A and B are shown apart, each in its own frame.
Chain A
Amino acid sequence: GDSVTQMEGPVTLSEEAFLTINCTYTATGYPSLFWYVQYPGEGLQLLLKATKADDKGSNKGFEATYRKETTSFHLEKGSVQVSDSAVYFCALSDGDNNAGNMLTFGGGTRLMVKP
């Protein structure tokens, strides 16, 4: 079945440092890929997405590129802020490109940014 593997945390960085959170996936079909973020006490929020190979999703300074050849969707940000401290989840949705598909999540990576 489908699966998502992401680097274990916590990841601790100083403000303005470069961030990479690795994510790789296994899927039988041609999935859509997502990064969700969970701030303390809140639900999961979509951070960015990509629906086909070589697509780059971006939002709030975060980027991730859909790499079909390496089955990866690594999350990057050039300069993190304390407010980026959260748990980040990589996820995929396999099957037809419609609204009803379930999400398969990675284990989540906690990011802590120190001033």
Chain B
Amino acid sequence: EPEVTQTPSHQVTQMGQEVILRCVPISNHLYFYWYRQILGQKVEFLVSFYNNEISEKSEIFDDQFSVERPDGSNFTLKIRSTKLEDSAMYFCASNRDTAGAYEQYFGPGTRLTVT
């Protein structure tokens, strides 16, 4: 069964460094998402991406964040200058462009630790 994959599973970085989190969505999916979960808190929406552009973003997704689909298979989240409060589990998700087929398939997550 096809699945969403994410790398790395755990990333440790120092405050102020740039990080890139990688995701490979399911191959015939057209909508892509990033969510995050700070330890002990809710899963929060960051951004959705369709047709090579951002379709929706939350207030969390400020200028420090960017997303890209560089090669037709990967979907990346970049944090330009990490802060301590960016420490969280980051989930990638994808789904198809079919009316009613709005089930989002999630990857296993990348745990980001900013020290």
A contact residues vs B (CB 8 Å cutoff): 32, 36, 41-46, 49, 51, 89, 91, 93, 97-108
The chain B residue with its CB closest to the CB of A44 is B106
Contact residues of A: prevailing secondary structure: loop
6 contacts between A and B (CB under 8 A): A99-B95, A102-B33, A102-B48, A103-B43, A105-B35, A108-B43
- Binding-face segment, B68-76, B78-86, B97-105: B97-105
Q: A93-B102, A102-B45 are in contact. List 8 more A-B contacts (CB 8 A).
A: A44-B43, A44-B106, A97-B100, A98-B99, A99-B97, A102-B56, A103-B104, A108-B42
Q: Closest CB-CB distance, B27 to chain A, in whole Å?
A: 16
List residues of chain B with CB within 8 A of the CB of A42.
Answer: 108
Q: Cβ of B105: which chain A residues have Cβ within 8 Å of it?
A: 46
A/B pair count, beta carbons within 8 Å: 64
- B104 CB → nearest A CB, Å: 6
- Decide: B101 and A99 in contact? CB cutoff 8 A: yes
The answer to whether B42 and A45 touch across the interface, beta carbons within 8 angstroms, is no
Q: Are A32 and B91 in contact (CB under 8 A)?
A: no
Q: Are B31 and A100 in contact (CB under 8 A)?
A: yes
| Cross-chain contact B102 with A43 (CB below 8 angstroms) | no
Least Cβ–Cβ distance between A42 and chain B, in angstroms: 6
Report chain A residues within 8 Å CB of B99. 97-99
By a CB distance below 8 angstroms, the chain A residues around B31 are 99-100
| Distance A9 CA – B63 CA, assembled complex (angstroms) | 35
Are A100 and B91 in contact, CB atoms less than 8 angstroms apart? no
Q: Is the CB of A106 within 8 A of B42?
A: yes
B107 contacts the other chain (Cβ, under 8 Å)?
A: yes
Enumerate chain A residues within 8 angstroms of B43, measured Cβ to Cβ.
44, 89, 91, 103, 105, 108
Beyond A43-B91, A44-B43, A89-B43, whether A100 also contacts B103 by CB under 8 A is no
Enumerate chain A residues within 8 angstroms of B108, measured Cβ to Cβ.
41-43
